[in-house]
Structure 1
Amino acid sequence: MLKGSKPSVLSLAERCRNILASNWHGKLSTIKADAHGSKEEIYSSKVKYFVKKGRVYIWVPENDQHDVNAIIDERGSFAVNSPHPGSLATVLRSVGKFPTRVALTGEVIRVSDEKIKLVAETLRETLSAEQKAIKESSNVVSGILNSSNLDSSSRSKNLQELLDSNKSYIPYKFNMSSCSYIDGSGSHQEVDLDAIEASKADPLSRFSIALIDGINQHEARRRALTLFCVTHMNRRAKDAFLLSVDRKGFDVLGKVLGPAAKDGSHEYQWKELRFTLKEEARDIGRFCQQLVEMEKEALDNLSSFSGL
């Protein structure tokens, strides 16, 4: 890296913030309890949540076991995966890779009655801003998002169900005391809480899952990813999936031609490849614009590569 140049990848703290900001559900674990106190067992369930200004708000169904547990013992843990929609998850499992994830420990604090409406209104305003940004987006952005299965990839649509549901929920604030980043191989790395507090969620994180799914579902754009492997990495690829996006670039899981074996044969192997944007994408529109420019550039340069 040249002196004074900006890093092309996110820090661990930024990756944690992005995973939390892009997802909407996670696994909450609390210590089982009753009127006689805490037990030695753990109760876990899938819950929805959202993040506002770095604070994690978890929505627990009314009369859920977590409700009782948190009153007696506030200690808890919360695990969130980096969402991998559609066929991407299947491919990752087939090659033995896990979603990157964030594991938090801390206290599960029930939001006071007088602040419940405020938290709900904060969620409503957050979703309204996201939906407005999508409506005002360019045709390219709309085209990519429309290719996505929004029932499973739209963060705002899935969180809107909390506000529209007839089911009663109780919001809790999760106060972090530790944070770990877990990579695709299962390796844990402790992340400094001050670094997380100082970092900001990527501007693309709220839309990243719909973007990833939309591109992976679009045949022409999938083909363009394979061309990126050739033109930018000089790696011949016969398949590729978009793995993650952020303001600095994107990661591709490409099925690329591996090194020659002893008998001279070659096999295709799934590899993660990092592509850096020419300039940081301050919003979803700028990211998609640069992606289109890269697609055009790859097609223009295609003739310079042989053996395709």
Structure 2
Amino acid sequence: MKGKLVTLTFAKRCKNILAANCQAHLNTIKVDAMGSKGDIHTSKVHYLFNKGKPYIWVREGDLHNMNVIIDERGSLSVSAVAPNSLLRLLRSMGKFPARVALAGDVIPLKDSKVQDLTEWLREHLLKEQNYANHSSYAVSAILSSANLSCKSRSEIFQEIVDQSSNYVAHKFNIRSCTYVDGSAHTHELEMEDVEAPKAGHLFPFAEKLIDGVNQSQARRRALILFCLEYYDTHARDAVMLSIDHCGFDVLAKVPESMASIGESSRYTWKEFRFTFKEEATDVEAFCRLLVGLEEEVLQSVRSYSGLA
């Protein structure tokens, strides 16, 4: 891994966030019979990309459905997936998950298009569920460690399919994209640099995978060893922050300075990036590479201590 600890571009991070999440906050301009009122209405919606375009599902009765008939302008705020325990940790640090802000137009779909989209969604979810049902022990062991409140994307959208009459589907035409990091710094992106996320079998399980690792003390100790092996950093604790096809990010509690290591040390949380030797094409490959890395680092630690 040494020599390959690369940082992801903002465009790549945007793509990963959009691929991993399926929930967003939609903002539209409030309207009435007289037209626009200028105020903003915000609520949580669900989205998925199909053929490079995001489609959003809004609950029946939500003001968005009326607003966009008069004024189609809207924006989507999509956060990096973060299980509740990780979200609480970030908030205690005064930080929030990185997010993507999309500005564009919300276009209501005709009934025929809604039916086609629903059928596509059913087939898409069936593929994800079949994949999960036939996953290996390495995958199921990590996913089953996640808190029950964590759900895969297929579990979330199955409710929408089962209650399709309670939702209204729209297409979202993106006009601009902004990446907002955990410290609220914004980075405007050119539209040609923002690719639509491709369908795959890694990101639909991102939240459960992250929480499954973080709920395991053994795996968190492995993250601590990663920091020691590849960054020569003595971490007191560590959690997985995000995942992608190339590797993962870790949030580790480390001494504020090397000179302060000891019982009375002052610690701060710092992000570290770890890159796999090969691309993790799906959750099976990600778990295999993660387990392999754990074994590799453990063997290295044993050799240092003369236990090999």
Report if the CA contact (8 A) 1:237-1:254 is conserved: yes
1:36 pairs, out of 30, 34, 37, with 34
Report if the CA contact (8 A) 2:96-2:182 is conserved: yes
Give how far 1:151 is off.
3.6
Give how far 1:260 is off.
4.7
Give how far 1:195 is off.
1.7
1:223 pairs, out of 218, 221, 224, with 221
The TM-score with structure 1 as length reference comes to: 0.91
| Residue 68 in structure 1 maps to residue 71 in structure 2 | no
Of the structure 1 ranges 163-172 and 247-256, higher mean CA displacement relative to structure 2 is found in: 163-172
2:121 pairs, out of 123, 146, 163, with 123
2:8 pairs, out of 2, 7, 10, with 10
Output the amino acid matched with 2:255: L
Report if the CA contact (8 A) 2:29-2:39 is conserved: yes
Residue 26 of structure 1 aligns to a residue in which SS? strand
Of the structure 1 ranges 204-213 and 239-248, higher mean CA displacement relative to structure 2 is found in: 204-213
Residue 266 of structure 1 aligns to a residue in which SS? coil
Report if the CA contact (8 A) 2:128-2:201 is conserved: no
Residue 102 of structure 2 aligns to a residue in which SS? strand
Residues 250-294 of structure 1: CA distance to partner in whole angstroms, max 9, x if unpaired? 100011223156999632221100111111111211111111111
The correspondence of residues 100-111 of structure 1 with structure 2, limited to 5 A, is 100-111=98-109
Report if the CA contact (8 A) 1:8-1:249 is conserved: no
Report if the CA contact (8 A) 2:81-2:206 is conserved: no
Output the amino acid matched with 2:22: W
Instruction: Give the equivalent residue in structure 2 for 1:243.
Output: 241
The correspondence of residues 234-273 of structure 1 with structure 2, limited to 5 A, is 234-260=232-258, 266-273=265-272
For residues 177 and 120 of structure 1, what CA distance do their matches in structure 2 show? 25
For residues 187 and 274 of structure 2, what CA distance do their matches in structure 1 show? 24
Output the amino acid matched with 2:37: K
Report if the CA contact (8 A) 2:19-2:197 is conserved: no
For residues 155 and 58 of structure 2, what CA distance do their matches in structure 1 show? 18
The TM-score with structure 2 as length reference comes to: 0.91
Of the structure 1 ranges 57-66 and 199-208, higher mean CA displacement relative to structure 2 is found in: 199-208
Residue 105 of structure 1 aligns to a residue in which SS? strand
Of the structure 1 ranges 6-15 and 36-45, higher mean CA displacement relative to structure 2 is found in: 6-15
Output the amino acid matched with 2:117: V
Report if the CA contact (8 A) 1:27-1:46 is conserved: yes
For residues 92 and 130 of structure 1, what CA distance do their matches in structure 2 show? 30
Give how far 1:202 is off.
7.0
The correspondence of residues 205-220 of structure 1 with structure 2, limited to 5 A, is 205-220=203-218
Alignment length (residue pairs): 302
Residue 240 of structure 2 aligns to a residue in which SS? strand
Output the amino acid matched with 1:156: S
Report if the CA contact (8 A) 1:61-1:167 is conserved: no
Give how far 1:12 is off.
2.2
Of the structure 1 ranges 208-217 and 159-168, higher mean CA displacement relative to structure 2 is found in: 159-168
Instruction: Give the equivalent residue in structure 2 for 1:154.
Output: 152
For residues 188 and 231 of structure 1, what CA distance do their matches in structure 2 show? 33
Instruction: Give the equivalent residue in structure 2 for 1:55.
Output: 53
Give how far 1:203 is off.
5.4
Give the gaps of 5 or more residues in structure 1.
none
Give how far 1:79 is off.
0.5
For residues 212 and 39 of structure 2, what CA distance do their matches in structure 1 show? 41
| Residue 283 in structure 1 maps to residue 282 in structure 2 | yes
Output the amino acid matched with 1:47: V
Identity across the alignment (%): 50
For residues 247 and 197 of structure 1, what CA distance do their matches in structure 2 show? 15
For residues 304 and 236 of structure 2, what CA distance do their matches in structure 1 show? 15
Residues 160-186 of structure 1: CA distance to partner in whole angstroms, max 9, x if unpaired? 111112751110011000010000110
Report if the CA contact (8 A) 2:101-2:179 is conserved: yes
Report if the CA contact (8 A) 2:23-2:78 is conserved: yes
Give how far 1:198 is off.
6.8
Residues 88-116 of structure 1: CA distance to partner in whole angstroms, max 9, x if unpaired? 11111111221000001110000111111
Report if the CA contact (8 A) 1:202-1:247 is conserved: no
Report if the CA contact (8 A) 2:36-2:71 is conserved: yes
1:27 pairs, out of 16, 25, 38, with 25
Report if the CA contact (8 A) 2:180-2:186 is conserved: yes
Report if the CA contact (8 A) 2:220-2:238 is conserved: yes
